[in-house]
Amino acid sequence: MKSVRETLPVKPALQLGVDHDLCPGCGEPLALRMLLEAIEELGCAQRAIGVVGIGCYTALSPLMDVDVIQALHGRAPSLATGAKRMRPDALLFTLQGDGDMVNEGLQEVLHTAARGERITCVLLNNGVFGETGGHMTATTVIGQRTKNSIEGRDAAYHGHPILIGDLLAQQAGTAYAARGSVHDAAGVARTKRLLRRAFETQLDGHGFSFVEILTMCPTGWFVGTAKGPGYLAEVLAPVHAMGELKRDGRYVSSAELRAARKT
């Protein structure tokens, strides 16, 4: 009799293994799996080029069986721009964290969106610099404890979080923007649908597309492994509200998504 591990597809075809160095309870391997499955399902395995930023997820790039360009912290959208302009038929995506995209790389992702660059930027947002051990980023929510906002993020002292999805969705060059999560099974399945729509937007030549994925970081949140999904739902998700922020030319703000969830 076969064991469960032998009969279930434990990894997508575009993933070279399941062994990685990230922490227990990390949401990033789940997000990667959805990303690779979406590429595969769209039949784009032989035309995908990924540009990977710098963060914990950088350690996942050796598992990705698609062509990869390793970028500097924050610089992935520019590299993807240059690559896409030279290879318009390729499916170009970036894989970036919130520190990478929203702190150091804010200017470039914003200009890339405004230019309507036909690429898909994927943000893994856990609200902390996970790789450095849990420090505040531009998406850390008010009240969130990090190693450099030890009593919780204080708006008067540390400033406010940036809702990057809203910022990008409002650019005329952005054709699609959405925010999902991997904290529960429904969220994981929805995230793959969002990624597929973003990639389809790119393949149809409609402009810039963006998918933000809220991911668990129990290590950087200083909670137990099993408490990660709950923390994401209770702390991050109420601010970085999930849903489609832009589709078919219509922008729906995070505030509107939040209000819709309450009613």
Beta-carbon count within 10 A of 153 CB: 20
Of 198-217, binders to other proteins (CB under 8 A) are none
Q: Count of residues binding other proteins (CB under 8 A)?
A: 47
Of 81-120, binders to other proteins (CB under 8 A) are 81-87, 90-91, 107-108, 111
Residue 252 is a binding residue for other proteins (CB under 8 A): no
Residue 68 is a binding residue for other proteins (CB under 8 A): yes
Query: Can you spell out the DSSP letters for the chain?
Result: ---HHHHS--S-TTB--S---SPTT-SHHHHHHHHHHHHHHTT-TTTEEEEE-SSGGGGGGGGB-SEEEEPPTT-HHHHHHHHHHH-TTSEEEEEEEHIIIIIITHHHHHHHHHTT-S-EEEEEE-SEETTTTSEE-TTPPTT--BTTBTT---HHHH-PPP-HHHHHHTSTTEEEEEEEE-SSHHHHHHHHHHHHHHHHHHHTT--EEEEEEE---HHHHTS-GGGHHHHIIIIITTTS--EEEEETTEE--HHHHHHHHH-
Nearer to other proteins, 72 or 255 (CB): 72
Residue 23 is a binding residue for other proteins (CB under 8 A): no
Nearer to other proteins, 58 or 103 (CB): 58
Q: How far is the CB of 199 from other proteins (least distance, A)?
A: 13
Return the residue of 46, 132, 148, 225 that touches other proteins, per CB under 8 A: 46
Nearer to other proteins, 45 or 141 (CB): 45
Q: Which stretch binds other proteins (CB under 8 A): 54-62, 121-129, 160-168, 184-192?
A: 54-62
Nearer to other proteins, 119 or 236 (CB): 119
Nearer to other proteins, 77 or 180 (CB): 77
**Residues within the interface to other proteins (CB under 8 A):** 13-14, 16-17, 19-21, 39-40, 44-49, 51, 58-59, 61-72, 75, 77-87, 90-91, 107-108, 111
